[in-house]
Structure 1
Amino acid sequence: MIASAFLYPWDVVGDPDAARRVADLGVQRVTLASAYHSTRALTPRHPSRRIVTARHSAVLYPPDADRWRGRELRPYEQSWAAGADPFAEAAEALAAAGLDVHTWVVLAHNSRLGEEHPATSVRNAYGDRYPWAPCIARPEVRTYLVDLAAEAATRPGTTGTDLESCGWYGLAHLHAHDKIGGVGLDGAGQYLMSLCFCDVCAAGYSEHGADPEELRAATIRALRPYWSGETAGAADGTGSAADRAGEWAEVRELLGPDLAEAARGWRDSVAATLQRECVAAVRAAAGAGRPDFRVMLHADPAPHRCGANAGVVPADVLAHADGVVLPCTGPDAAREAILRPFAGHGATDRTLAANFTVVSGMGGSPAALADDAAHAASLGANELRLYHAGLASDADLAAVRAALRRLG
C-alpha cells in the first residue's frame, strides 16, 4: 500500500534535513497542509525552534488576490511560517527528495471566521453560536468553502488532495482550556448539541416537514436528562457499528422519529451537496493539465456524525470522490465499523485510506502499525495515512520505519 505522512510546511521550511528524513521513513507521499485551523504544534527536530503557534485558521500560501477581491469571506493569511509561500517551499523540498505531494485542506473549521462574522456560525438550540463551526447550509459559507477548496487543494506541483471537515462541524472541538467535560455527552448528545438553528437551517427543517420551533423545543427537552446526569447514553463505547447505530436510534427515541428524520434529511442533503460541489470545483481547478488529480474526503460512515471526519453516505461519496480517508486508530471493532461500510462501493480505482495516529503521546500505537495496517488491508484499505510525521518523537518514527519495512 502507498503510505503518506501528514506534515505542516513549518516542519520542512528552515530544516534542510526534514525532507530526506521523511523519505527515509519509507513513505511514498506527504500530505502537506495548505489550509489549516489554529493550533499549537511541536517541532521536535527543527534546528531553530520547538513550538509553532498558529494563532488562527489560515492558508499557508499567498491567496489569489483576484479571486478574493471585494469579498467579505476570504481566507486569512498566516505569519508564523517563514517565507512568502511556505507551502511551495516545503513541497519543492519534498518533491526533490522523491516524494509525491498531496495538499491537506481544512474547510468547515475556522474560529476566526466565526468570531469576525458571527452570523456564519452554527447556532445551537439554546442560541449559542459555535465560532469554530461554520454553518455549511448558509449560501455565503458554501461559496467561500467551495472556492477555498478549489484554490487550496490544487497548489502547483501537487497530484491530489485530502479535504478535511468537508461537512458539518459541531460541538466537539479541541479548545484552549476546555471546560465542557463536566457533563458526559454520548454520540446522541453530541448530535443534539450540534444541530444548527440559524435562519437558513430553520427554513431547511421546514422544507423537510418539521416545524423548526417544535424541533428546537424537542432538542432542549431531549438534552435535559444529560444536564441532570440521568442519561448514561446508549453507545457501547467501542466505536463499533453497533455504537453508531445505537447513537442514531437514541436520537430517534429522544426527538421522535419524524423530527429526527426531518432534521437528518436536511443536514444530510446539505453535507452531500457541499461535498459534491467541492470535489467538482477541485477537479475543475486542477484542469486538463492534471487529469489524474485525486480528490479524497476525510469521512465517517455514519452520516449523523460531525467533525474533521465528516459524516457521509458511503455509496454516495464514492460515486463522485476518488476515495476517503478514514480514522482507523483504535480497537479492531472500531476499524471494522469504519472500513466495512465503504468496501464494495464505487469503482475499483476508489481509494480507502486507513489513517493511523503514529504519535504515542496523542494516543497512537506506532509499534502496532504493521499489524493494524494489515488488518485494515483485510477490510479493504488500499492506502495508509500516518498522522503525523512532524509531531512524532524519534522513537515513534523509528517504529514507523520498522513497520513500513515489515509491510514491504
Structure 2
Amino acid sequence: MVSGHAYPWDVLGDPAFVSRCPDSVTLAAAYHSTRAATPLHPEHQIVEARWAALYRPTRSDAWKGQDLRPLEPDWVTSPDAFGDAAAILKKAGKRVTAWIVLTHNTRLGTRRPDVAVVNCFGEVYPYALCPAHPEVRDYAATLAAEAVRDVELDAVSLESCGQLGLAHLGHHEKTDGAWTPAVAALLSICCCTACQSAWSAEGLDSPSVVAALREAVRNPAAEASPAVLATLLSIRHRHTDLLRRQVLASLPGLPVTLHAQPDPWATGPSPGLTPTAEDDVDALLVPCWPLTEDSVEAVRQASTTGLPVDAYVTLLPPAQPADLPAHVRRLREAGASRLSLYHLGLAPAWRQELFATLAEAFGT
C-alpha cells in the first residue's frame, strides 16, 4: 500500500486535489506549527500555521479541567477543517488515515515549561512536552479522541507518541553538527521534575545523575555509567508506554500505525521503540528520508517485530528524484510492506509525477 501525506488546507478549496492524490491519504488532524508551501493550490501559495493546532472543533466539555488544551487555528476558514477534508476524500473513494501529532507543541511548552523536556543543564525544550507528566498524557489522549470523533476514517497514525529530544527543525535552527550523536543523546535525556522523581523512586541520586550527564557532555572521556543510563532509558520507556496506552484507550477500534525508530534511545517525531510497543499497535512507520544504508537497516530491524513496516520517504529536497526509485526498492527488499510519501501538498507540479513513479518502483 502507498499513502501520501497531506494537510487539511491542501484539500479544502482545491477541487483538483483528489485527482492528484493516491488512493490512500494520511491527513493531519492535529499538527505542530509550520510554514507550508501550497504551490498547486488555486487560492494560496503559503499557509502560516503559527501554533500547534487541532483541526477539529474545540469542545469545552471535552477539555474541561485541563489546562493543556489546543488553541483553534485561525489560518483555516472551516471550524472542522480535518473533518471537512476527510469527508471530501472519502466521497472520492479514498482511504483516509488521521495523522495525529501528540507531544510536539511549542506554544504549550513555552507557556508551561514545567511540563516540557529539560536537559541536564536545566535548559527547557519548549517544543517538547514530556510524557512523564500525567497532565501531558491526559492532553494527548484527549487530543487523539477529539481528532477522530465522528469522522469516517480507515486508520490512525500517531506521531511524537513519546519524548522529543535535542533536535528540533525550526526557528532558523543553528545547532546542526554542534554535537556528536552520543552527546546529542545525552542532551536528549529529560531531567524535568517528573523524570527526576521517577529516577529517585528507582534508587538513583538525581543531583549526581545530572552532574554526571553534564560532565559526559563536556568531557567525552567521562562516560556516564552504563547501569545508570539503562535505568534512565527504562524510565523513559515506561512513560512512553503509559502515554501510548492512554492514547490508544481513547481511540475507537481503528488500526493504529506508530511513528517509531528501532533505536531504543531515539527521540523526536518517531521515538525509539519500547519493548512492549509492538504488542499495542498494528504497524510501524519508520523514517527513511536519508537515501542511505541507515534507512534500509532501520526498516530491516523494524521488520523483526513481525509488524507491517511503513517506510516514510520524502520527495522533497535534498532528495534527488533520480535516486528515489532505487531507494524505495531497497526499502521494500529490506522488509517494508507499505510506503508513505511526503508530501502531497508541498510537492510542486514537476515533483507530482514522482508519486506514481515511486509507487510503481515499490511494486504496488
* Bin for the TM-score computed over the shorter chain: over 0.9
Residue 263 of structure 1 and its aligned partner are, at CA, apart by 1.3
1:8 maps to: 7
Residue 271 of structure 1 and its aligned partner are, at CA, apart by 1.3
Q: TM-score, normalised by structure 2?
A: 0.94
One of 210, 213, 220 as aligned partner of 2:207 = 213
2:147 maps to: 152
Distance 2:150 2:260 in 1: 22
Distance 1:100 1:380 in 2: 23
2:326 maps to: 371
Do the aligned residues in 1 keep the contact of 2:291 with 2:324 (CA within 8 Å)?
Answer: no
Equivalent residue of 1:161, what SS?
strand
Distance 2:194 2:269 in 1: 22
Distance 1:334 1:344 in 2: 16
Do the aligned residues in 2 keep the contact of 1:339 with 1:376 (CA within 8 Å)?
Answer: yes
- Written as runs of structure 1 = structure 2, the 5 A alignment for 1:223-262 is 223-225=217-219, 254-262=223-231
Q: How many residues align?
A: 363
1:356 maps to: 313
Deviates more, 1:202-211 or 1:389-398: 202-211
Residue 31 of structure 1 and its aligned partner are, at CA, apart by 0.3
Distance 2:179 2:112 in 1: 28
Provide, for residues 62-118 of structure 1, a one-character-per-residue CA deviation record: whole Å limited to 9, x for no partner: 123211123211122111012121112211221222211111000110000011222
2:256 maps to: 295
One of 197, 217, 221 as aligned partner of 1:203 = 197
Letter in 2 for 1:334: D
| Structure 1, unpaired ranges of 5+ | 226-230, 232-249
Distance 1:219 1:186 in 2: 15
Distance 2:304 2:66 in 1: 42
One of 39, 51, 54 as aligned partner of 2:46 = 51
Q: Is 1:339 equivalent to 2:294 in the alignment? A: no
Do the aligned residues in 1 keep the contact of 2:297 with 2:334 (CA within 8 Å)?
Answer: no
1:275 maps to: 244
Distance 2:99 2:265 in 1: 24
1:240 maps to: none
| Structure 2, unpaired ranges of 5+ | none
Distance 2:235 2:135 in 1: 18
Equivalent residue of 1:67, what SS?
coil
Distance 1:58 1:302 in 2: 29
Equivalent residue of 2:62, what SS?
helix
Letter in 2 for 1:320: D
2:348 maps to: 393
Distance 1:131 1:330 in 2: 27
Q: Is 1:381 equivalent to 2:308 in the alignment? A: no
Distance 2:227 2:97 in 1: 42
One of 351, 359, 362 as aligned partner of 1:404 = 359
Residue 175 of structure 1 and its aligned partner are, at CA, apart by 2.3
Equivalent residue of 2:302, what SS?
coil
Do the aligned residues in 2 keep the contact of 1:367 with 1:403 (CA within 8 Å)?
Answer: no
Letter in 2 for 1:17: A
Letter in 2 for 1:381: A
Distance 1:191 1:333 in 2: 21
Residue 374 of structure 1 and its aligned partner are, at CA, apart by 2.4
Residue 370 of structure 1 and its aligned partner are, at CA, apart by 3.3
Distance 2:325 2:149 in 1: 32
Deviates more, 1:143-152 or 1:5-14: 143-152
Residue 171 of structure 1 and its aligned partner are, at CA, apart by 1.4
1:175 maps to: 170
Q: TM-score, normalised by structure 1?
A: 0.84
Residue 188 of structure 1 and its aligned partner are, at CA, apart by 1.6
| Distance change >3 Å, CA 403–CA 199, structure 1 → 2 | closer
| Distance change >3 Å, CA 261–CA 404, structure 1 → 2 | closer
Identity percentage over the alignment? 36
Distance 2:340 2:86 in 1: 17
Provide, for residues 335-362 of structure 1, a one-character-per-residue CA deviation record: whole Å limited to 9, x for no partner: 232112222424xxx3211111011x2x
2:95 maps to: 100
One of 273, 277, 281 as aligned partner of 1:317 = 277
Residue 405 of structure 1 and its aligned partner are, at CA, apart by 3.8
Distance 1:294 1:394 in 2: 32
Letter in 2 for 1:132: Y
Do the aligned residues in 2 keep the contact of 1:163 with 1:298 (CA within 8 Å)?
Answer: yes
Q: Is 1:222 equivalent to 2:216 in the alignment? A: yes
Q: Is 1:166 equivalent to 2:161 in the alignment? A: yes
Equivalent residue of 2:147, what SS?
helix
1:28 maps to: 23
Do the aligned residues in 2 keep the contact of 1:5 with 1:31 (CA within 8 Å)?
Answer: yes
